[in-house]
Structure formats: structure tokens, C-alpha cells
Amino acid sequence: MGNHSDGSPNHSGTVATAGQNEVEKFQDPGIPPHRLRLADTDPRAAKRAERQVALLFGISVVGTLIFLVAYFAIDLGDDSSIATIRLQNTLLGIGTAFAMLGIGTGIVHWAKALMPDHEVSEERHAIRYEEDRQAAVRIVDDIVEETGIKRRPLIRNTLLGAVALAPLPAIAIFGDLGPRPDDKLAHTMWAPQDGKRKRLTRDPDGTPIKASDVTIGSAFHVIPEGLNELSEGKLNEKAKSVVLLMRLDPASLNPSKGREEWGYNGIVAYSKICTHVGCPVALYEQQTHHLLCPCHQSTFDLTQECKVIFGPASRPLPQLPIAVDDEGYLVATSDFHEPVGPSYWERDSHERSINS
Amino acid sequence: MSAASTAEPAFVAKTKTGRITDFVDSRVGGSGILREFGRKVFPDHWSFMFGEVALYSFVILLLSGTFLTFFFDPSMAETHYSGSYVPLKGVEMSVAYSSSLNISFDVRGGLFMRQVHHWAALLFVASVAVHMLRVFFTGAFRRPREMNWVVGCVLLILAMAAGFTGYSLPDDLLSGNGLRIIDGVIKSIPVIGTFISFFLFGGEFPGSAIISRLYMLHILLVPALILLMIVMHLFMVVVHKHTQYPGPGRNDNNVVGYPLGPVYAAKAGGFFFIVFGVIALMAAFFTINPIWNYGPYDPSPVSAGTQPDWYIGFVDGALRLMPGTLGNWHVEQIFFGHVFTFNVLLPALVPAGILFTVMFTYPWIERWVTKDDREHHVLDRPRNAPTRTAIGMAGFVWYCVMWAAAGSDLIATHFGVSLNDVTYWLRALFFVGPIIAFIVTKRVALALQRKDREIALHGRETGRIVRLPHGEFIEVHAPLDEYKRYKLVGFESPQVQPAVPNEHGVVTSKEKRRAFLSRWFFEDRVAPATPAELEAAHGHGHDAVEAAEGTKSLTH
């Protein structure tokens, strides 16, 4: 720093001798004088520190023993209770902690109390020397020159092209990590199979729900009929098809045009998968008719066809059209009329093809 | 390895350890290394321990993780639980979840190892983060350590990746919902999002491949990369030698501290056992991730008050803060028949993107603004770099607002306030918080600098009130010794670097921007006290000192 303006109005007057640096800056007084510790001067203190270190190492031995006793003496057996496991875990932890802390604090105490504590100063060496640096630059230049890469652009450009393309197989080879998405996300199990409409059944046991079971104010967690019998891909199907079933006063529902017949007697079914990032919208506030997603607090208003009234979701929950079959059980009249769950790039075209 | 010896034929080591050292050395070499490092000087300061904590927690992670792999089975095949935890007996679940339960309940010490592993992971990311804050606020990232700062940033990302891949492995309900959120975020990526999701999960979510894929990443790829980065990190620490805090006797040309052998090695080595012991205590007394309470993953249920591990919290919080609709306008938009899920895409990518971009590039930004290209081995006390400290605090507060948002529901239930209000406040703080933090921090730093000046010039307050003969009361100040004073005055106070024309005599607009930023950085400054001022102060210089404290310096 060549320049020493510091805003001080009176730095010119008082001290104006010696070198200019001394005027403007305090001199470094050097490393403070070393102060002896008690253990350096008093042999009894040193002896005491020695005994303390030995005691800490002794505590470590005790800790190791605690661990071994806890490991071998506590039998988990076949029907161990949570309390037994917790006891063993605590004792194993205490044992390890003593074993480790004994060694650690012992060594640190030893170092601090008994090993020399003189601060020493060491010169820093330059990371590189000027001679090396120039030689290195020269070597690199020579290497580049000898390859002739600058004089032969044809070689350079074809090499760049080849190197740029060469990693493509390394990317392509991951192509079998998964199947193509196609329109898998657009369909769920709710679509009627061979003309037979799927019943709404309870999650998780799969018993069908009668319309008369659904009283005003109640809510059901619903899965499609046949889900539990799937031999594979059960969770995949469940991840798309879970539904919340609720019954409100029919007067408080305000179905839009074309959706008047999607409910039955105030009973409505909505996808349980949040349109934000896919958490289950599991909380139903009976009084306000709001559905709340516990992950990111998106709030949907049941009386406005699950429109988003708060939080990060942007689309309403998809509604599942339902009716009642001959035996009085609730059934889905069709699949959802839009893909359920979080948005994705092709979602809009999927929705249009479902409804066309 | 106490006696360093060189292998000359005539030389015979006197002690037994010396002879062993000599034996090894004459067969594998290494006397040069020992000579170089055996007494290498390391500066000592409590804040240098965070990096050590990170290193040691990583070692503990490797040890406990290896144990867990002997019992864990990353298969998503369906099974019925038959272990000894009664409430889940007969429940259908994945083999991965079942084997995690077996580790907890049927392998002696398995629960302890799981707890150690999880606590060590949380501590690992935390200590990396705190270590980086220390490096940032003390300016340790400056030349020649910029590359090591970048390696550190990569390590932070890898630590988070290691944490998240491990968190999902038990295939429990909580982590499964976390994966589903990740899936939702991935699906929001334009053009390729759906494909990435299907490739990651081997089909639709949740599929039957994700756990074994994460397992491979978690136990092989990510730790290998972390190990590689740690080796590079430590290698560069050795090349650069450690930084040191400013103080008497310390400058950019020396290292003041303790020799590696024995004091520093003993302290650092002992510290490993202390870190291990503390993690063991946490594992003994504080339950972490009780997967048996959550149950196996099922796409239908979710528990209220769900929380990710703390280091993922800021992304989750950002997701919560973003409104999905503004009035009747939907943030999610459809252009040309394709969906742009801005309500997910923006909060998931933008804040983290800004944080990491600024973090990675900050050494070069500051170097460009300050035109300071010298080597720095002496750290800045944070107060002596007020603008940098304020920038750091602004970023930190921004991060913390997002992080707090990840617990918005818990804040609401714990304090009995409206969840919506908490979100509105945090949305406001998301924008205002960093600005307030910047202004407050800068003022506090400048105030602390003034206090340092005051103490350097007038000494420390003794609390002793003396009444002078004419009735005036004064407080006696005790002068500082020269070592303590040097600590308060021995710092650099950079100044505004005005725009200068380039070789064509033109002041480019880039240079003007640089000059503007330079003024923003250094306009407000408190110069270190000078000997002249001290002299004046001794002559009874209250007025003079006040005058010298002008914070706006003249630029010329």
C-alpha cells in the first residue's frame, strides 16, 4: 500500500522523523514473550498433570469395559422390547463415548500441559520459484510447438470434433436405465376394465365403500378395487390412484358445467396426490372444507372444486367422477380426466388427448 | 516416529524408535517427508477446528458405514416382516426397510451404529458449512487459495449428495415422501424432466430400482469423490501452508504456531477421539431417524410435520415459500402446449443456483473489484472487512430464511400462530432479510472497528473513577501493551480504487462498474490507528481522536 490517506487531519505534525513507514504504521513488536505454564516451573504441577492424563486414559479403559459388558450381557433375544434395546444402545454409546473421550481429552491435556508450548515461526517458501516458473512456461510452449497443433488447423479441428462426439455413447449407454415415459403418467387404475367400473375401496384393506357409509363430514382414504391383488407394480399404481373421499352438504359444492354428475349426494372424490410435487394431501379440515398438504402446505378448497387457495401448488386436485352401482357401492365412472400428481413437460398434451 | 533420521551408512540411531524409523526408511524411503513435515509449523486457533471436525466425522462415517453395509440389503423386493419389533410383525414392506429394522432391533449394536452414522452425517455437513463460513469471513479464500475454496464448495455439494442418498436408503415412509418430492422437482424440468424421472426410478415412481441405485451412489461413487476431493484439499493446504490470524509477529512471510510433532499432532489426533466421543454421546442419548415409527414406504399416508435432514431444508423451504398462484394468475404456465412448472422450477433451482454460483465465483469477484492480486496468508478479522462480512451475512440470512421456511408448519404449531402468516412473513424476509442483514452487519463491523481504534488509542476501560481536584470525574484507562495494541492496529484497510483508463485511454464501462463496486466496498472505512494519533491521544486528544474517526475517507 503506497498510499496512506486515512482521513486523519493531524498525521503530519507530531512524529516526523525516521522512515515514513514508522510514522504511518505501528511497528510489528514480534511474537510476544513466551510465558511459562505452572507445569513448566513447578514439578508438583507437572506431576499432577501427568496423573490427570493417566486418569483420563484410565477412564477410557472403563468405557471400553462398559461397552463390552453392555454388548455381551444384555440379551436381545427374539422378543426384545424397545426398552431393552434403548438400554443397550445407551450403554454402548456411553461406553464408546468414555473410551473415546478418555483418549482424546487425555492426549489433548498431555499436549497442552506437558508438551513444549513454544510458539515458533517458520518462513513461508514461495509456492514456485521464478526460474521454475519460466522454465515451465517455456516447456509448455515447446510442447505445443512440437505438436504443431497451431500450424495444422485440420488436425486440431477434427480432433476437437472427435473428442466432442466421443462421450455421446457414454450418455447413450444409460438409455436402458428406464422405459420411455410414453403416456404412463396419464392413466391410472380407475379406468373401467372390460366395461366393469371399479369400486372405491378403503385404504389399506381394500373393502368396498357403500354410499350410505359416507356420512356428512366424514372422509375416507380410498384405493381402487383390485389394487391389493396386483402381483407387481402395486406401489406404482397406488402412487397414482389414491383418492380422498368426502361428503359435504350438496349445497356447499359448486360444481362447474359438465361436472354436475361427478359426485353423488354431496359425496366427492379427489386425487390425493398433490399437484405441486406429489406428496399425499392427507389432511382434511372438516370445518373449512380445506385439504392441506403437510409437505409444503398447499391448501385446496373442496367447495371450489379443490382450487388452490394457499401455498405453492398451481393447479386444483383432479376430481374422480363417481356414481353408485346396483348394490349401493361407490364406483368410478371413468378414469381421471387429467393426469394426476405433479406437472411434467408433456402433461398438457396428455390432458388434451384424454379429453378428446 | 519421534527421531527423524537420515539413512547414512555411518549413522546409527541411538534409540529403539530411532532404529525402527531407520529400518522403515531404508526400505521404503520417506526420511525427506518426515524431515519436511515432522516439525512443520501449524498455527493454532479454535476456528481452525471446524475443518478437522469435518474430516474426522468423515472418517467416522466410513467406519460406521462399512459396518452397516454388512447387514443392509438394498432390495425393493416385497417381504413380510418377521423380526422382533412387534408392532410391525407381518407387515408387508421392502427388503431394504426390513433389513434396516433388523439392524436396529436384531443386530447387537446395530442401532448404535445407525445412530452414529446418521449423527456423524449431520455433523459432517454442518462442520463443512461452518468451516466454509469461517474461511469466507476471514478472507482465507484469497490468493493463493482460490482453487482450494472451489474444492471446498464441491465438497459441500458432495456432502449434501452423500447425505441425501443415504437418507433415502431405509425406504421408510419419511424418506420415501422425500424421494417423491425430488421426483416432483425432476418432473418440472423442461423437455427432459419426465425422461430423467423415468430413468432415475427405472420407470414410474417409486418403481423397484431406486434404492439399489442410490445405494451404489451412496457407498461407492459419492464417497470416492469425497475422498478424492479431501486428498486434493489437504494437499493444497500443505502446499500453501495454513493461514494464520493477524497478531504480533505474524505476517504474510511466516507461519507462527506449534510444530506438527508432537504438540500439534497430539492435539489434532486427540481431537479425533473427542469428535468420536461426542458423536457417540449423541447416538447414546438422542434418537435420530426412528424409522420404525414411520413405517414402510406407502404412497398414500404422510405424517404431519415432516422434515428433511437439515441440509436439504433450504431447498424444501424455498419450495414452500413460492406461491403457486398470484391472485387468479397461475405461476405454472403452458406455452406451445408444453408445461412450464415455474412454481416448482424457480424455487428449486434459482436460490440454490444463486447461492452456489456466488460461492464458487466470490474469490474472483472480490479480486476483480479490489484489484488485490497479492498473496494473503494472514487472515482478516471479519470486522476489518466490513463489506465482505456484510455480504456473507446477507447470504447467510437468506439461507436461514429458506431453512426456517422448511419448518414453517412446526413454527406455527409451536408458537400457536397462523401457518399462513408465518409463510407471508418468511416470504417478506426472503427479500428484505438479506438487505437488513447487510446494513446491520456493515454498521456493526464499522462500530467494532471504531471500538478497536478507541481502545488502541486510549487503552482499556478500568472501571476506576477518579475525581480530579477541580471536581471533574474521569475514568482511568489502562494503556495496552504493544502486543495487544498491534493486534488492533495491524491490519490493512483497502481503499476505493477509482476507475482508470485502459491502454487506449478509454475508461471502459466494465471498468466503471468495477469502480462503482469498489466504492461500494470501501467507501465506508475506519482506518487503523497510527502512531501519530496515539501520540496525539496521549497529549489528551479526545477531540483529535474524534476527528480522526471520520469514516468517509478522501479518495484521490
DSSP for B34-86, written as a single string: HHHHTT-EE---GGGHHHHHHHHHHHHHHHHHHHHHTT------EEE--SS-G
pLDDT at A279: 93
Q: Which range (A18-27, A271-280, B82-91) has the least confidence?
A: A18-27
Assess whether the previous peptide bond of B43 is cis (omega < 30° from 0): no
Contact A93 B284 (CB under 8 A): yes
pLDDT at A14: 37
ipTM above 0.95, yes or no: no
What percent of chain B shows pLDDT beyond 70?
95
CA distance A293 to chain B (A): 9
**Residue indicated by cell numbers 409463510:** B423
Which residues between 291 and 320 in chain B have a beta carbon less than 8 angstroms from any beta carbon of chain A?
Answer: 297-306, 316, 319-320
Considering only CB atoms, B206 lies closest to which of A79, A100, A236, namely A236
Q: Does B262 touch chain A (CB under 8 A)?
A: yes
Mean pLDDT over residues A206-226, rounded? 92
Give the start-end residues of each E strand in chain A: 120-123, 200-202, 219-224, 243-247, 267-271, 283-285, 290-292, 299-301, 307-310, 319-320, 322-324, 330-332
Angle between helices B265-285 and A82-113 (to 10 degrees): 160
Q: Distance between CA B135 and CA B48 in Å, rounded?
A: 9
pLDDT confidence band for B4 (50 / 70 / 90): very low
Q: Which of A10, A173, A317 to mutate to test the interface with B (most CBs of B within 10 A)?
A: A10
pLDDT at A2: 36
Q: Mean pLDDT score of chain A, rounded to an integer?
A: 88
Q: Mean pLDDT score of chain B, rounded to an integer?
A: 90
Bridge partners (DSSP) listed for residue A222? A202, A243
**Residue indicated by cell numbers 432391533:** B105
- Judge contact between B371 and B497, C-beta under 8 A: yes
> B30-75 pLDDT, tens per residue?
777 878 788 888 898 999 999 999 999 999 999 999 999 999 999 9
Mean pLDDT over residues B271-279, rounded? 97
pLDDT at B10: 64
Amino acid at B73: D
Q: Distance between CA B361 and CA B160 in Å, rounded?
A: 20
> B189-225 pLDDT, tens per residue?
999 999 999 999 999 999 999 999 999 999 999 999 9
Considering only CB atoms, A277 lies closest to which of B185, B305, B555, namely B185
- The answer on pLDDT for A159 being more than 60 is yes
- The answer on pLDDT for B287 being more than 60 is yes
β A290-292/B325-326 pair status: unpaired
DSSP secondary structure letter of residue A286: T
Mean pLDDT over residues A30-38, rounded? 88
Considering only CB atoms, A344 lies closest to which of B194, B239, B532, namely B194
Angle between helices B110-137 and A82-113 (to 10 degrees): 40
Contact B195 A295 (CB under 8 A): no
pLDDT at B553: 41
> A246-292 pLDDT, tens per residue?
999 988 888 898 898 999 999 999 999 999 999 999 889 988 999 99
pLDDT confidence band for B244 (50 / 70 / 90): very high
- The answer on pLDDT for A294 being more than 80 is yes
- Judge contact between B380 and B138, C-beta under 8 A: yes
Which residues between 504 and 543 in chain B have a beta carbon less than 8 angstroms from any beta carbon of chain A?
Answer: 527-533, 535-536
What φ, ψ does residue B123 adopt, rounded to 5°? -70, -35
- ∠ CA A140-B238-B259, nearest 5°, is 145
pLDDT at B130: 97
- The answer on pLDDT for B76 being more than 70 is yes
